[in-house]
Amino acid sequence: MAKVVEIAIQELRDRSPVGSGDDPHPGLYRDSHMIFIDGHAVADASGWRPGQQINISNPVPYARKIEVGEMKLSVPSHVYEVTAQKLAGQFGNSVLVKFVYMPVRFGSVQAYAQSLAGQAAGKRRGGRSKALRDWLVRQPALQITAR
């Protein structure tokens, strides 16, 4: 499983857009992919045990916009979705890889969800209190489980 996760992280990094010019944080999205085992952030998948679920997601608040292609700049979209398809083809006999949206309730994603701008964005989408909070923290992710 550690090898699958290592390849997944590298693939995500390779597909990630990197800012340039006046971008105050070039490479922040590329360098922010995180590994979770059963919902807990970990440095790598070496502690994975059979029966546990691995997720990889990105906590930057604009990760969802990159995924669905809503960035004002021209950047590659569907970073996680394409990576899931590639990994499923490469490791489909040993792992199940799905593209999902998972809640990330910390860092700048959480701060955005609690901000007035985040609340306004959710209301434009017709969100209610709990549904709105859930929508605001859902980030694109890979879900990896052993077969």
The helix (H) or strand (E) run that includes residue 12 is helix 2-15
Q: Cα dist. 18→31, 37, 59 in Å?
A: 9, 27, 16
In 3D space, the residue among 114, 102, 112, 133 whose CA is nearest the CA of residue 34 turns out to be: 102
The model carries a pTM of 0.80
Of 53, 75, 50, nearest to 64 (Cα)? 75
- pLDDT tens, position by position, for the chain (147 residues)? 999 999 999 999 999 988 777 777 788 999 999 999 998 999 999 999 999 999 999 988 888 888 888 766 666 789 999 999 999 999 989 999 999 998 876 655 555 555 555 556 555 555 555 666 666 678 899 999 999
